Structure 1
Amino acid sequence: FKNAKCLYLAIRIGDHVYGVIGIPANKDVFDSVEYSILLSVVNECALAMENLRNAIEKEKNAVLAKNEQLRADLLRAISHDLRTPLCSISGNADMLLNNGACLDSKTKQQIYVDIYDDSEWLIGVVENLLSITRLNDGRLKFKFTDQLLDEVIAESLRHISRKHDEYTIVTKCEELILVRMDVQLIIQVLVNLIDNAIKYTPKGSKICIRGMKCNGKAQICVEDNGPGIADEMKPYIFEMFYTGKSTIADSQRSLGLGLSLCQSIIEAHDGRLILTDNTPRGCIFTFTLPLSEVTLNE
């Protein structure tokens, strides 16, 4: 192309062309050294673009692989953990339908309790699944209102399973702490944390829920005096589907969604959820929430 006004060189690796550079042509002709340097620069550009493309593809593949793994874990967890309560409900209902007249009142009462407990557990799992799916997809709409912290804690205790009767649960909350929150989601956080404390501590343990102002924020703690959490497990407890190992809770069902969901909800409130050790034993889950700007007039 003798009439071309530029010298055009392709930035390419193999058959993949990333671009073309044009160098204004003039009467001077590149000597062999200059042309070699120019080709080296073009090749370096092509190599850098190839590396960037490979890094982007690798990142995309890693995200796809993680999503597929999460989906597989979710399906496996659902099929494994939901089968037990569903079979229990079905079996107990069948027994009442076909043999109800042969059962004494005490046995019937226990069957009713078992059906209720399994149903409550399933409802909690479904709520966690829906919330964490909507959070991850960005479809969960927050409804922030100003709420008194002590009333929210009291309301959350009314949603705790009947198993809490076997534990000593106390609340210590400062009065008139007005907090900006989505009340239903924060109740869900408290219910998950308290249920966790019940699940992983022996019967008769003490669980304390504290609420206070700290460094310009509302701080809520859920403390227990159980066996605590091993140091090697602590880095993973907020990961989805991680349930850990516990001699107390090994026989209990858990999808491992609770703490992951709690962390996502608290972060959406511009807060933090952390785990610390209790003294002399046990653990403390602490999270912060923004205080309301509304001033209470006495």
Structure 2
Amino acid sequence: RTGSGVFGVIGIDLSERSMDAFENSVLLSILGECALAVENRRIALEKERATMQAQNEQLRANLLRTISHDLRTPLTSISGNASNLLSNGETLDTETRNKICTDIFDDAQWLIGLVENLLSITRIEDGRMNLQISPQLMDEMIEEALHHVNRKSCEHTITTQYGDEILLVNVDARLIMQVVVNLVDNAIKYTPVGSVIRISAYRKDHQVVVEVADNGPGIPDRAKAQVFEMFYTGQSRIADSHRSLGLGLPLCRAILTAHGGTLTLRDNVPNGSVFSFALPQSEVNIHE
């Protein structure tokens, strides 16, 4: 026991002989050390819980502050463009109206993508994401994902390369496609117009590896450890200032971790970045 209470009880069979004073003193010393160890462990766990709670509160505050700040720009843009159409729609030429409608559509799509990312990462963190696992071909998922990337992809050259082997994985196809979309959109945002984005998939050591490489300005070494943190956004001037809350990469890592996979970053040679993820390969069963 300690001053804060009793942690346990020990019983010793003394039917054959009793303890002498020395043995009794040693036993009490051992029990005292055990009690101190238990109390220290309890205090450490309480501190850990308090720290985690403080971090969660800080994370929640950062989320609200970041969203409140960054959503103002696209919402103001949507409201202003819609007001312009309502007030001056008849006097605007076709090209101007199309440009305004395109801006409204882009901002709305960005807001939808943000909400999807927020919902997904919240469910994964809370353990409420129910994975719909089934055998999927990686190349087919990549091709489907490319139909949903940022419309600005037409300003870049996107290429794909697959090996000759069958790349089969047991995954939730919707979530893995979201990973591919986020990685490609990220490359589009942080590389200049005309950059080349190369997507490749191949088998390595019983894993299926997917790489998204670009030839943009790359990521400084000092920032590599931060890119997977929530709310971290790169300082590249190329990026659209109101189109990155820093949720894409943390969400990708969370999704891949839930699938038993990994997400890594390395430099592209001679310039640019390569994001790659690996998933356990699924066996191909051929039924005759």
Over residues 110-144 of structure 1, what are the superposed CA-to-partner deviations in whole Å (9 max), with x where a residue is unaligned?
11010010011111111111111111111111112
Change (3 A) 1:38 1:88: same
Contact kept in structure 1, 2:189 and 2:240, CA below 8 Å:
no
Q: What residue in structure 2 maps to residue 53 of structure 1?
A: 42
Hey, what's the Cα distance between the residues in 2 that align with 1:45 and 1:290? 44
The amino acid of 1:153's aligned partner reads I
**Does the alignment pair 1:278 with 2:246?**
no
Q: What residue in structure 2 maps to residue 112 of structure 1?
A: 101
Hey, what's the Cα distance between the residues in 1 that align with 2:5 and 2:125? 36
Hey, what's the Cα distance between the residues in 1 that align with 2:133 and 2:184? 23
Q: What residue in structure 2 maps to residue 239 of structure 1?
A: 229
Q: What residue in structure 2 maps to residue 156 of structure 1?
A: 145
Hey, what's the Cα distance between the residues in 1 that align with 2:24 and 2:132? 65
Structure 1 gaps, min length 5: 1-10
Return the offset for 1:236.
1.8
Contact kept in structure 1, 2:169 and 2:280, CA below 8 Å:
yes
Q: What residue in structure 1 maps to residue 64 of structure 2?
A: 75
Specify the structure having the higher radius of gyration (Cα).
1
**Does the alignment pair 1:292 with 2:282?**
yes
Return the offset for 1:281.
0.4
TM-score under structure 1 length normalisation: 0.88
Return the offset for 1:48.
1.6
Number of equivalent positions: 286
Hey, what's the Cα distance between the residues in 2 that align with 1:113 and 1:294? 44
Q: Which moved more, 1:140-149 or 1:152-161?
A: 140-149
Q: What residue in structure 2 maps to residue 3 of structure 1?
A: none
Hey, what's the Cα distance between the residues in 2 that align with 1:38 and 1:290? 53
Percent identical among aligned pairs is 56
Contact kept in structure 2, 1:242 and 1:256, CA below 8 Å:
yes
**Does the alignment pair 1:41 with 2:30?**
yes
Give matches, 1:190-269, under 5 Å. 190-249=180-239, 251-269=241-259
Change (3 A) 1:112 1:250: closer
Hey, what's the Cα distance between the residues in 1 that align with 2:287 and 2:26? 77
Over residues 179-208 of structure 1, what are the superposed CA-to-partner deviations in whole Å (9 max), with x where a residue is unaligned?
322111111000000010011111111001
Hey, what's the Cα distance between the residues in 1 that align with 2:209 and 2:55? 33
Hey, what's the Cα distance between the residues in 2 that align with 1:170 and 1:29? 81
Q: Counterpart of 1:233 in 2: which secondary structure?
A: helix
Q: What residue in structure 2 maps to residue 7 of structure 1?
A: none
Change (3 A) 1:127 1:39: same
Q: Counterpart of 2:64 in 1: which secondary structure?
A: helix
TM-score under structure 2 length normalisation: 0.90
Structure 2 gaps, min length 5: none
Return the offset for 1:29.
8.7
Hey, what's the Cα distance between the residues in 2 that align with 1:221 and 1:29? 70
The amino acid of 2:37's aligned partner reads A
Q: What residue in structure 2 maps to residue 187 of structure 1?
A: 177
Hey, what's the Cα distance between the residues in 2 that align with 1:139 and 1:73? 22
Return the offset for 1:42.
3.8
Change (3 A) 1:44 1:156: same
Q: Which has the higher contact order (CA 8 A, sep 6+)?
A: 2
Q: Counterpart of 1:18 in 2: which secondary structure?
A: coil
Q: What residue in structure 2 maps to residue 65 of structure 1?
A: 54
Greater share of strand: 1
